[in-house]
Chains A and B, each alone.
Chain A
Amino acid sequence: MLDADFFRRWMTATAASVEREADRLTALDSPIGDADHGSNLRRGFAAVTATLEKEAPDTPGGVLTVSGRQLISTVGGASGPLYGTLLRRTGKALGDAAEVSEAEFATAFRTGVEAVMTLGGAAPGDKTMIDALLPAVDALGDGFGAARTAAEQGALATTPLQARKGRASYLGERSIGHQDPGATSAALLVAALTEAHGD
Chain B
Amino acid sequence: MTDTNLVGIVLVSHSAAVAASVAELARGLTGGGTTVRVASAGGAEDGGLGTSAELIAEAAASVDRGAGVAILTDLGSAVLTVKALLAEGDELPDGARLVDAPFVEGAVAAVVTASTGADLAAVEAAAAEAYTYRKV
Contacts A73-B53, A76-B51, A76-B52; A81 near B80 (Cβ below 8 A): yes
Contacts A73-B53, A73-B54, A119-B83; A80 near B77 (Cβ below 8 A): yes
A84 on the B face (CB < 8 A):
yes
Q: How many residues of A contact B (CB 8 A)?
A: 20
A85 on the B face (CB < 8 A):
yes
Closest A residue to B43 by beta carbon equals A76
Contacts A73-B54, A76-B77, A81-B77; A119 near B84 (Cβ below 8 A): yes
Q: How far is A77 from B54 in the complex, measured between Cα atoms in Å? A: 13
Contact among B44, B50, B53, B76 with A167 in the assembled complex (CB-CB below 8 Å): B76
Q: How far is A61 from B7 in the complex, measured between Cα atoms in Å? A: 36
Instruction: Determine if A81 and B81 form an interchain contact, defined as CB atoms under 8 angstroms apart.
Output: yes
Closest A residue to B49 by beta carbon equals A34
Instruction: Determine if A76 and B84 form an interchain contact, defined as CB atoms under 8 angstroms apart.
Output: no
Q: Which residues of B contact A (CB under 8 A)?
A: 44-45, 48-54, 75-77, 80-81, 83-85, 87-88
Query: 5 tightest A-B contacts by CB?
Result: A81-B84, A76-B50, A78-B77, A81-B80, A73-B53
